[in-house]
Amino acid sequence: MTASATLVASLALARRGRGEGRPPRFSANPFSLGVASGDPAADSVVLWTRLAPELLTADGGLAPEPIPVAWEVAHDEGFARIVATGSALALPQLAHSVHVELDGLEPDRWYWYRFHCGDATSPKARTRTLPAEGTSPTAARFAFASCQNHETGHYAAYRHMAEAGYDLVFHLGDYIYEMKSKAKGAIRPHGMPEILSLADYRIRHALYRSDPLLQAAHAACPWMVTWDDHEVDNNYCDAVSEEEGIDPVAFLERRANAYQAYYEMMPLRHACLPRGADMRLYRDAAFGDLAAFYVLDTRQYRSDQPHGGHWHGITAECSAPEATMLGREQAGWLASRLIESPARWNVLAQQVMLGMVDRTAGEDSRYAMDQWPGYLAERRRLLDFMADRRVPNPVILTGDIHSNWVNDLRADDRDPSLPVVATEFVGTGISSPPNGLTDPGKVEELMAENPSLVWHGGGNGYASCTVSRDRMDTTFFTVDDVALPDSSVSVAARFTVESGRPGATRA
Ligand SMILES: [Fe+2]
């Protein structure tokens, strides 16, 4: 039986058994992974939790039986004005996770929610719906994050994010890291070898989500998540593993494990439920007519990197017309959504840098082949499309490289005589080892080499954007000491994009 057939069968069984038997009793708090919400629309949002009284075990310390979990949604923090209540089944096939797709909610409104199971009650949390289609909101505030290696730092950035009161958070990937523990320098070791099985991925996700600051950020507002490589395997492309000589079928088995554990842990709609080794994660959302968000997946459908994925000068291989990050279906979907978009701001939330940044001073050049410079024909098609079809105010949000970048994007960034088409903000990692240059001389050299580069910064942290009718203001925050959970957080730089004028100006 396939995984989805098993799931359907057990859902039917569980439905028959619903309400029978004694209420579950737990040896420890079953809500140790907290709660979350995600993928908001104007009338609906997903509520998530996963029962796991024993956090770092494959089955969460639960018998392989369905468990009913009650949920409630209210207008107020005290749960006096109840909006809706219901019950969902936490199934062992999905690690006792719950994904409640609420609907019939009012647009542009905040709600409180929590879960009950047996005699346990989850933490309460806030979520919201988006403004309705056809309305013209005046402002939206959202944050974006990536790269939260648990071993190499604490999540002070998430404390700041949780307290800042955003409407929405985008996670752009590297939510977990799949590697074995570092030999040296780990602040909070993974304590396991590289992960491969479904049980491994579940435990690794549980370790990360056990962090109270990450839980607080999830509890503050809805998130829209997407993955990069480390949710599965470093630098993988479609069925091609990082390591040489891995059978693609064996790799797809691993990918199925990773995708399933990801679905189980994230506040995603049932439409994202994986089928075998495939999981449709690209999707969009609209904040009235102010902003449209396109959440992309640049790993699952990607052709293999040119030049083995190593740093390299631009060659014909980098401009191969058939090379793709998005795959044909996703690229077609994105184009059709962009053409129809009534939004003033069109925001792509994706993984790897579009900006073509040459990292070698002088005649020689070196570009990142795992990023869009390795896929130049598709990059050019995307930017030409945005220019030709006059997509209003395209902005790209990016993660991946543990450093901050602002890029004015052109069809070819090496040619400053071309018009700027879109603006890219690359946010540094929450806690992964920072890769940014900090020596002012080196940064100056980099800026001189790359005409499209507006700013570069190092450190750990996250970024936020405030969008209004006539401008987008982006702020980069950096954590002062990533080794401390209560580290202070400072503003590293601010930028403005004016509506109708692609490109960023330092504020
Ligand atoms: Fe990363």
Q: What is the pLDDT of residues 329-379, one digit of tens each?
A: 999 999 999 999 999 999 999 999 999 999 998 889 999 999 999 999 999
Of 284, 262, 370, whose CA–CA distance to 323 is shortest?
Answer: 370
How much is the pLDDT for 13?
42
Per-residue model confidence as pLDDT tens digits over 432-448: 999 999 999 999 999 99
Write down the H helix ranges in 224-340. Answer: 248-265, 327-340
The pLDDT value given to residue 139: 98
Residue 201 predicted with pLDDT over 90: yes
DSSP bridge partners of 466: 141, 473
**306 pLDDT above the threshold of 80:** yes
Report whether pLDDT(8) > 50.
Answer: no
Q: How many CB atoms lie within 10 A of CB 143?
A: 28
Both tokens of 129, joined, read 């719906």
Structure tokens at 348: 């792509």
Q: How far apart are CA 298 and CA 307, in angstroms?
A: 18
Whole-number Å distance, alpha carbon 261 to ligand 1 midpoint, is: 19
Q: Report CA(505)–ligand 1 centroid distance (Å).
A: 27
Q: How many CB atoms lie within 10 A of CB 250?
A: 12
pLDDT of residue 41: 98
- CB-count exposure of residue 417 (10 Å: 0-12, 13-18, 19+): exposed
pLDDT of residue 24: 85
| CA–centroid distance, residue 469 to ligand 1 (Å) | 33
Burial 424-456 (b: 16+ CB within 10 A, else e): bbbbbbbbbebebbeeeeebeebeeebebbbbb
Give the tokens for residue 304.
């293999």
User: Residue 12 above 70 pLDDT?
Assistant: no
Alpha-carbon distance values, 96 to 31, 59, 64, 371 (Å): 11, 8, 9, 36
pLDDT band at 191 (very low <50, low <70, confident <90, very high): confident
- Contact between 225 and 175 under an 8 Å Cβ cutoff? The reply is yes
Please write the tens of the pLDDT for every residue from 18-71. 444 466 889 899 999 999 999 999 999 999 999 999 999 999 999 999 999 999
**Terminal-to-terminal C-alpha distance of the chain:** 58
CB atoms within 10 A of CB 226: 25
Checking if the pLDDT of 429 tops 90, the result is yes
* Rounded distance from Cα 162 to ligand 1 centre (Å): 21
Return the CA Rg of the chain. Answer: 22
Token pair, residue 384, equals 């030409």
Helix or strand (DSSP H, E) at 449? helix 440-449
pLDDT, position 362: 87
> What token pair was written down for 308?
């083995």
* CA gap 134, 398 in Å, rounded: 28
Quickly state the pLDDT bin for 244 (edges 50, 70, 90): confident
Minimal CA–CA distance to 40: which of 208, 181, 166?
A: 166
For ligand 1, a single-atom ion, the residues with CB < 5 A are 147, 174, 432
Backbone angles phi, psi at 144, to 5 degrees: -135, 145
Dist. CA 172 → ligand 1 center (Å): 10
Phi, psi (deg, nearest 5) at residue 455:
-160, 150
Query: Is the dihedral angle over the CA atoms 121, 127, 132, 135 positive or is it negative?
Result: positive
- The per-residue pLDDT for 183 is 67
Distance 25 CA to ligand 1 centre (A): 39
Q: pLDDT tens across 98-131, in order?
A: 999 999 999 999 999 999 999 999 999 999 999 9
More confident residue, 389 or 183: 389
Q: Residue 11: enclosing H or E segment and its boundaries?
A: helix 3-17
Distance 410 CA to ligand 1 centre (A): 25
216 has a pLDDT exceeding 90:
yes
Angle at 432 between CA 394 and CA 484, to 5 degrees: 115
How far is ligand 1, taken at its centre, from the CA of residue 444, in Å? 25
Q: What is the distance in A from the centroid of ligand 1 to the CA of 231? A: 10
pLDDT at 22: 61
CA distance 151 to 460: 14
Task: Round the average pLDDT of the chain to a whole number and report it.
Answer: 94
**Which pLDDT does position 10 carry in this prediction?**
44
Residue 51 Cα, ligand 1 centroid: separation in angstroms? 28
How far, in Å, from the CA of 459 to the mean position of ligand 1? 13
The amino acid at 360 = T
pLDDT band at 458 (very low <50, low <70, confident <90, very high): very high
Q: What is the pLDDT of residues 123-175, one digit of tens each?
A: 999 999 999 999 999 999 999 999 999 999 999 999 999 999 999 999 999 99
Give the per-residue pLDDT at 184: 77
DSSP 156: H
Domains, the chain, in order of start with CATH, read: 1-129 (2.60.40.380), 133-474+482-506 (3.60.21.70)
Read off the pLDDT band of 387 (50, 70, 90).
Answer: very high
The pLDDT of residue 5 is above 80: no
Give the pLDDT mean for 74-93.
Answer: 98
